[in-house]
Amino acid sequence: MKIVVTIKQTFTTEAKIAVDGGAISDKGIKQIVNPYDEFAVEQAIKIKESGGAEEVVVLTIGPERAGEALRQCLAMGADAAFRVWDDSLAAPGAWDVYATVLAGALEKMKPWELLLAGWVAVDDNAAIVVQRAAETLGIPQVLVVNKLDVGDGKVTAVREMDGYREVVEAPLPALVTADKALNTPRYPTLPNIMKAKRKPLTVWTLEDIGVTAGSAGFTRTGLALPPAKTGAKIVEGEPEEAAVALADLLHTEAKVI
C-alpha cells in the first residue's frame, strides 16, 4: 500500500504577524510544516512501521522554500517528496485553483490507496483544499479524525463530536484528515536528517502534471489584522451584586441588552 500525505508550509503559530502591502510580511517569520499536517505525516509513518504500508510519499504546493518542509517530512521517515509550483500560484487564497492542482498531482501519483492530511492549516484556517481535491477525485473523505485503523481495504476512523463519538468506515482509496489527538509527531533524529538529504524530492510544473490552473473563482479584496483588544473589565464583588452590576454595564455601557 502507498500512502500520500499532503502538507503545507506555514508560519509558526508563535510568530508575530504583520501585514505589509496587502500580504503577511515574511520579515522575521519562521516557516514550519503545518502542525496538523505533522500529525498526518506521523500517522502515515506509523502505519508503514507497523507493516500496513510499503511507501509514504509527501506532496505540497509551494515555492522553493517549501522544499524545506518536505525535507523535514523525509527526515521524519517519508520515502519520497513532490513539490508542485508555478509562479501563477502565488496569488493569495486561491483555494479552488490549489484544489485543481492538487487533484492533478494526485492523479499523476496513482496508484495510491490512502490520502492523509491535516484537517486545517493554521495560517488561513480554510480546511478546504485537499477536501475539494478528494471530491474531484471522487474518493470518500473522513475528516477531523482522532483515531485511525487501516486494513482489509478500508479505514476505520474515530471522530470526537460534541458529547459523543462517531466511528466511521470508508473503503480505500480515501482521504482522512488528522486532528491533534491522533498521535504525537516525532522530531527527526540527526542521522535521519542526514539521510533525508539523499531521498528523492521531485519538483513538478503544472505542465508536468497536465493541469491548467485557470483563475480563481473569487478574489481576496482585503487582509487586515484583527483590531487590538481593548481593555477587559472585571466585575468584582459578591455574585449577587456582581450580576446586577454586570447587567447594568451591559445595558448602559455596552448597550447590548
Nearer to other proteins, 197 or 220 (CB): 197
What is the size of the binding site for other proteins (CB under 8 A)? 19
Placement of cell 482522512 in the chain: 176
- Strands 55-61 and 2-7, how do they pair? parallel
- Contact window for other proteins (CB under 8 A) among 64-72, 133-141, 145-153, 248-256: 64-72
**Is position 27 an interface residue for other proteins (rule: CB under 8 A)?**
yes
Measured CA to CA, the distance from residue 197 to residue 65 in angstroms comes to 15
**Is position 62 an interface residue for other proteins (rule: CB under 8 A)?**
no
Opening angle at CA 225, ends 251 and 180, nearest 5? 95
Opening angle at CA 65, ends 64 and 71, nearest 5? 100
Least distance from other proteins to the Cβ atom of residue 94, Å: 25
**Is position 194 an interface residue for other proteins (rule: CB under 8 A)?**
yes
Nearer to other proteins, 58 or 75 (CB): 75
At residue 55, the 3 state secondary structure works out as strand
Among 111, 191, 222, 227, interactor with other proteins by CB under 8 A: 191
**Is position 188 an interface residue for other proteins (rule: CB under 8 A)?**
yes
Axis-axis angle for helices 66-76, 35-49 (nearest 10): 30
Q: How many residues does this entry show for the chain?
A: 257
**Is position 197 an interface residue for other proteins (rule: CB under 8 A)?**
yes
**Is position 72 an interface residue for other proteins (rule: CB under 8 A)?**
yes
Least distance from other proteins to the Cβ atom of residue 234, Å: 14
3-state secondary structure string, 65-109? CHHHHHHHHHHHCCCEEEEECCHHHHCCCCHHHHHHHHHHHHHHH
Question: What is residue 42's DSSP assignment?
Answer: H
Among 30, 198, 229, 255, interactor with other proteins by CB under 8 A: 30
Least distance from other proteins to the Cβ atom of residue 50, Å: 20
Least distance from other proteins to the Cβ atom of residue 195, Å: 10
**Is position 63 an interface residue for other proteins (rule: CB under 8 A)?**
no
Nearer to other proteins, 2 or 71 (CB): 71
Opening angle at CA 60, ends 58 and 64, nearest 5? 115
Binding site for other proteins (CB under 8 A): 14, 16, 26-28, 30, 32, 68, 71-72, 75, 187-191, 193-194, 197
